[in-house]
Structure 1
Amino acid sequence: LVDATGQSTFLAVRLGLKQQDPNLRMASVWTYFQGAHRDSGKDEGATIILQTPGKTSWFWYIPLPDDVVSVGCTGRLEDLFAEREASPADVFARHRERCPALQRRLAHATRVREFFVTKDFSYRTAVGAGPGWVLVGDALGFIDPVYSSGVFLALRSGEMAADAIHAALVAGDVSAERLGGWQRMFSQGVDRFRRLVYAFYDPRFSFGRFLREFPHHKGRMADILMGRVFQQDIEDMFRDMRNERGEATGA
């Protein structure tokens, strides 16, 4: 049995395996606009991240076909919905006012869809496989939308699970160990994305400052963002990031 039910997490919920990430209690509010500004040339379809002061929230800005742009605001749950009675439109407007770059891009735009909301979407599962079953994609876990890693990780988990399932059926062994043997390496790769997300939300950490201080890590940072997280030995970069964050936070 392959659980590919996405964020419904069918088996994880029923087996009590789902674990929310206490460091990423986030929420997102998003909608769609027409007539918003688009960059020219090769950057016309580029996804843009726009942060508000103090990293209290950030906006994604994703150009889509037919002159439509997806715009979403993500931040800590307690910050976005500090006012319990605030509507999604109120939350979006409040943070939009704190992001001049987004205001400029939406100056002549018209909203064409309602607002959508999702909360507490960062989680993992305590166990990813059992006798005769395995979890893949978002049914196995989800980190955060900031680096757009979700589809990549979902597809990669599916590939790795497919190889394990084939080998298990050939061997006549559908044990948890056989079906989930790939998940340790997969979890290590996911954890590398997760550590980048933690750094992104740290208000006193700057990727720009870090890469100026450690320019030899630029290539490794690019490799991770391109999905090369499963084979490379990049722990020295994370050690330097950890030290930088520790100095910045006084830890």
Structure 2
Amino acid sequence: MSPAINSVPTAEILNSNNPSKTVLPTLTPPSSAPAFHGLIYAVHARVANPEADLQISVFEKSGKPQWKWAKGLGLRGEYLLRLFGIKDGLEFYISTGRILGKYKEFCNNGPPPFLLLGYQVERSISELLLTLFAQRNGVNVWHGHQADVQKTDVIPIKNVSNKSEVVTRSPLLVDGTGRFRQYSSKVSRVKRFEGFNTDAFWGYWQCEDEDASHTNHMCFPEGWVWMIRLLSWEGTPLPNLMDMINYLLDHAQANSPNDEIPSTNELAQMFGCSPKWVYSIGFSVRDDIVLVQEYKKIGAVMSHFTLINEPYGPGTTWAIRKQLTYQTQVVSGPGWVTVGDGIGFTNPLHSPGITSGMATGVFAADLTAAAIKVKNEEERKALWSRYDEYCANAVTSLHIMNIFNYNCFRVPILAARVSLMWQFTVAIAPPGYTLGHIGYVLPLKKYTEYNLNWVWGSQVPEYVKVSRYALSKLEPIPLSERPSDEVVEDIIRFSEEVRIKAMAENRFPTRWNGLFRNFDRQLNYDEVKNELQDVFTNVCSNCGTWAAVRGDWRKCYTCGVIRPQEECDITWNPPLVERELQVAEQKAKAEQEAMAMKQESMPMKQDSMPMKQEGMGMMK
């Protein structure tokens, strides 16, 4: 990177990619912040509704994407696994006591890499990726610019570096400032749920001898600890990262297959980047006093890690959030709407702020074209009434989901057999919206409807019944007291009655014996059944990094070596049944047809290899 480029402010470098070279005086509409949900809103409004031709600008006071804790992101694997760490399922260790360190386990595996992949992402680079993707789709993302949202129709935009100001007009302001609630805080107080709240604190760590493809959770009566392995690009010059990401986006646009794309290490060398593996480790607890000292298991695990001092600059060693749970009572009004965490938040457990909160951005985006045309307040209220109702119900349902999980952490068998089993059952296979049955392929126009009906499964009738019943038994018991065996057995009995009825009615028909470590296909619990589970990841024999396995992915996306075929094949344990084979075959055929069509329409790159057509190779 030349000294001239190095002297240019990061905001100017990012803003140079915008379709417009200056802030426009009239916008249709702006979003006030480009954090995750503001960018999701902007991209969806442009991509899913091209006929509206919305002129969207996003304003961010900071000069570059900021650091936050790690989250999961579900997008196309061939390209994103070069940037992010893999997220292959979730592992929970629920402690039975402070002295002995015994625990129960729950493990949710998958889904299969050829259907869908999950990632653990460093938020600064994920938001940079979304920024560049938004700019490619006609969205202006202005870093180093602050929207002064005292009003919704006339908005001064201040340039943070030179203090200049441009006044812009828009029929709709979208507040994507999350918990800061930059505009919604002016018209509505937050609501706190009485009787339960949590705090969180986290940092970033180095570890030489701890390695896992699953995201690990250590749970105990007061709360839980997350341990997330992720790829950090901190310290790499911004122009280098932008060039690398745009290069990957070019590959994505060309639909390049995995084995034709440079690996992470190769990309780092090509673009002068410096990736490194780190861990995000954090506590989300009711009471955070001397937890590491009191829980021997946590203390033993933490002894393997070394805290990274100020990984993102001064003041970033530890992050702290107090009183996590809240709800915004008014989320839309004349000329404005709030998306993302601005509507409310519960807890980082299961990441509902992003996974469920995404529905607010895409729903608001779908309503935008009509919203900017409303003639009066009556029309506006009618248009946004379902949005308001969704936000109110979603936060309430997610709050109940959260206290259900926390209360079951008090008795490990309740967490392993009841709360976590139901949590992932209703989230993976919500009746009428089971994406696994259609290969995780959903038309863009149907995505909002799916997302509004998902909400982590917290509104599925069976889940509602079991969670309410369990809470009626557990909440009256003080946290300092262990629930009696009679209470525990009664909750399990009720859960089993609901499960047996649901499975008899075929409410959740999915491959549970491969996805859940301690359950069979009918969701019968077996504490010793842990040898039967599908295997979707293994360690690359060359570089030692965990890798997703697909029969048609021979190249290690981390180091670039061509792996032996036996390292690339999925282990189906137990074997697939006919219906599962059909879904896998349909997905494989659809991907290969898409690749073929894309390659026919584009010239072959000089450094590319011909794609091998291997039929069912990806699901071997």
TM-score normalized by the length of structure 2: 0.33
**Aligned partners of 1:37 and 1:105 also within 8 Å:** no
SS at match of 2:453: coil
Q: Map 1:14-53; keep pairs closer than 5 Å.
A: 14-35=186-207, 37-40=209-212, 43=213, 46-52=214-220
1:176 aligns with 2:381: yes
1:207 aligns with 2:423: no
The one of 74, 79, 95 equivalent to 2:284 is 74
For residues 211 and 358 of structure 2, the distance between their equivalents in structure 1, rounded to whole angstroms, comes to: 30
Counterpart position of 1:246? 472
SS at match of 1:147: coil
How far apart are 1:104 and its partner, in Å? 3.3
Q: Map 1:189-208; keep pairs closer than 5 Å.
A: 189-202=394-407, 204=410, 206-208=414-416
How far apart are 1:180 and its partner, in Å? 4.4
1:96 aligns with 2:292: yes
Counterpart position of 1:56? 222
Q: Which amino acid aligns with 1:126?
A: Q
Computing the radius of gyration from Cα coordinates, the structure with the larger value is: 2
Question: Aligned pair in 2 of structure 1 residues 191, 11: CA closer, same or farther (>3 Å)?
Answer: same
How far apart are 1:117 and its partner, in Å? 1.2
For residues 166 and 71 of structure 1, the distance between their equivalents in structure 2, rounded to whole angstroms, comes to: 42
How far apart are 1:23 and its partner, in Å? 3.8
Q: Which amino acid aligns with 1:57?
A: G
Deviations 1:18-39 (A, max 9, x none): 2123344221121111015433
Deviations 1:199-242 (A, max 9, x none): 12216562334269xx8886325447x99661676123211222
Deviates more, 1:97-106 or 1:126-135: 97-106
1:230 aligns with 2:453: yes
Number of equivalences: 228
For residues 185 and 154 of structure 1, the distance between their equivalents in structure 2, rounded to whole angstroms, comes to: 11
Deviations 1:175-194 (A, max 9, x none): 23323432323443443332
Question: Aligned pair in 2 of structure 1 residues 164, 17: CA closer, same or farther (>3 Å)?
Answer: farther
Counterpart position of 1:137? 340
TM-align CA RMSD: 3.0
SS at match of 2:473: helix
Question: Aligned pair in 2 of structure 1 residues 4, 47: CA closer, same or farther (>3 Å)?
Answer: same
Question: Aligned pair in 2 of structure 1 residues 57, 217: CA closer, same or farther (>3 Å)?
Answer: closer
How far apart are 1:111 and its partner, in Å? 1.0
For residues 366 and 303 of structure 2, the distance between their equivalents in structure 1, rounded to whole angstroms, comes to: 50
1:108 aligns with 2:331: no
**Aligned partners of 2:175 and 2:184 also within 8 Å:** no
Q: Which amino acid aligns with 1:3?
A: D
**Aligned partners of 2:201 and 2:318 also within 8 Å:** yes
1:5 aligns with 2:177: yes
The one of 220, 240, 251 equivalent to 2:426 is 220
**Aligned partners of 2:227 and 2:281 also within 8 Å:** yes
For residues 356 and 419 of structure 2, the distance between their equivalents in structure 1, rounded to whole angstroms, comes to: 25
How far apart are 1:70 and its partner, in Å? 0.9
For residues 27 and 236 of structure 1, the distance between their equivalents in structure 2, rounded to whole angstroms, comes to: 29
RCO higher in structure (CA 8 A, sep ≥6): 1
Question: Aligned pair in 2 of structure 1 residues 97, 228: CA closer, same or farther (>3 Å)?
Answer: farther
For residues 168 and 143 of structure 1, the distance between their equivalents in structure 2, rounded to whole angstroms, comes to: 29
How far apart are 1:171 and its partner, in Å? 4.9
For residues 360 and 347 of structure 2, the distance between their equivalents in structure 1, rounded to whole angstroms, comes to: 17
For residues 423 and 302 of structure 2, the distance between their equivalents in structure 1, rounded to whole angstroms, comes to: 35
Q: Which amino acid aligns with 2:305?
A: A
Question: Aligned pair in 2 of structure 1 residues 36, 150: CA closer, same or farther (>3 Å)?
Answer: farther
Listed as ranges, the gaps of 5+ residues in structure 2 are 1-172, 232-275, 310-316, 436-449, 478-620
Q: If each structure's helix is expressed as a fraction of its own residues, which one has the higher value?
A: 1
Deviations 1:60-112 (A, max 9, x none): 11112223111111112xx22xxxxxxxxxx5xx2122333333333232111
Identical aligned residues as a percent: 21
Question: Aligned pair in 2 of structure 1 residues 20, 244: CA closer, same or farther (>3 Å)?
Answer: closer
